[in-house]
A and B are shown apart, each in its own frame.
Chain A
Amino acid sequence: MNAALIYLLLLKATMTSFAGMGSLPQIRQDFVETRGAISDQQLSQAVLVGRATIGPMGAYVVAVGYFAGGWQGAVAGWLAMSTPALVAIPLLTLIQRWLHLPRIRAAVDGVIIASAVLLLGSGVTLAIDAIQQLRAL
């Protein structure tokens, strides 16, 4: 599988997800089921490596890229992981322009509060996961 195609497929997955591991279903669909570029076992291994590594969990796409296309695929994975973050720039520009409007500010307040609730859920999930792992040892 060539690096350009790996980049485009991984980019499709990362651009349509909103969390590190959110791209997993799309990646499985494209790389395992549709194209057979990697096996389920390799995908699981990529997830494990990404999870056990420092930094963002989304880095597992680098391993997916590597398994699908060698080091060029890994580079494509890194680029596919990084590219969507640039979308934040126009969003920040818009917020800077409109945040002084009370309704927009209220909407941002709502998003911040909901983000905190989502964070709380993520934190509790992580803690439960860790406790279960410790108990299993």
Chain B
Amino acid sequence: MLPGRVEGPSLRELVSSVAYDANRTVGGGLVSIELLRRRFTARGWIDSLLHGVFIAISRFTPGTVVLAYCVMLGLRFHRWRGALLALTVASLPASLIVFALAATLARIDRYAAVRVMLAVGILVAGGLVVGSAWHLIRPYLTRDFRIRMIVIAVVAVALIIVGATPVRVLLVAAVVSSAWPVRQPRASGRESRGRTDS
């Protein structure tokens, strides 16, 4: 389903892309994932299905979502070496900054200008995350998948409202979707899901 060896970035391109996109915005890892998706899909290194699979697995992986996503990007193109390097460059820069701030006990929030910049940054980040959600949903807006997509979305929203944890939401969605009558998959919309079936 997912090809073992694929055309993709060189190790240097992978590392620089992950290091740049995973460490250039506030608002958390979901924003970084959207930046990575844009870069990797624009260059044809991954498609919507693979991105969706990576997102799904990242959500089921303990810890920080973006780090799991970067590990899979690295593993996909350069096996263990890629996975470990991607993990390192995705986590180390932010960790060093956090360490430096904690060590100097910098009260960065006492300056109004800094607070404004952070708030604007977070607002932009929120927009990027919403955009990321749209990119995940869009392939399912076909006639074959629309009803199932709506049912799953409604179930997910209901579970979120009653306070279910994200993992429970995902598990219930998986059960509901897998119990749905199976048809020939044609969920890709503009991008054929079969493209990754080589």
- Comparing B8-16, B39-47, B91-99, the segment that makes contact with chain A is B91-99
How close is B56's CB to chain A, nearest CB, in angstroms? 4
How close is B63's CB to chain A, nearest CB, in angstroms? 3
- Main SS of chain B's interface residues? helix
| Across-interface contacts of A50 in B (CB, < 8 A) | 98
How close is A46's CB to chain B, nearest CB, in angstroms? 7
Q: Judge whether A4 is part of the interface by a CB distance below 8 angstroms.
A: no
| Across-interface contacts of B160 in A (CB, < 8 A) | 117-118, 121
Q: Determine the residue in chain B with the shortest Cβ distance to A46.
A: B102
Number of A residues contacting the other chain (C-beta, 8 Å)?
A: 79
A15 touches B62 (CB 8 A): yes
Q: How far is the CA of A53 from the CA of B71 in the complex (A)?
A: 21
Q: Determine the residue in chain A with the shortest Cβ distance to B26.
A: A54
Give the residue of A49, A52, A99 whose beta carbon is less than 8 angstroms from that of B1: A99
| Across-interface contacts of A45 in B (CB, < 8 A) | 102, 105
A131 touches B91 (CB 8 A): no
For chain B, residues 25 to 50, give those with C-beta under 8 angstroms from any C-beta of chain A.
25-30, 32
Known: A52-B26, A56-B90, A131-B119. 6 other contacts (CB 8 A): A20-B65, A48-B109, A78-B91, A117-B160, A119-B133, A123-B30
Can you list 26 residue pairs at the A/B interface with Cβ under 8 Å? A48-B109, A52-B109, A54-B26, A56-B28, A56-B66, A58-B64, A60-B98, A74-B98, A74-B102, A87-B61, A99-B53, A107-B175, A107-B177, A109-B145, A109-B148, A109-B177, A114-B152, A115-B59, A115-B136, A116-B133, A118-B170, A124-B130, A128-B126, A129-B122, A134-B120, A137-B116
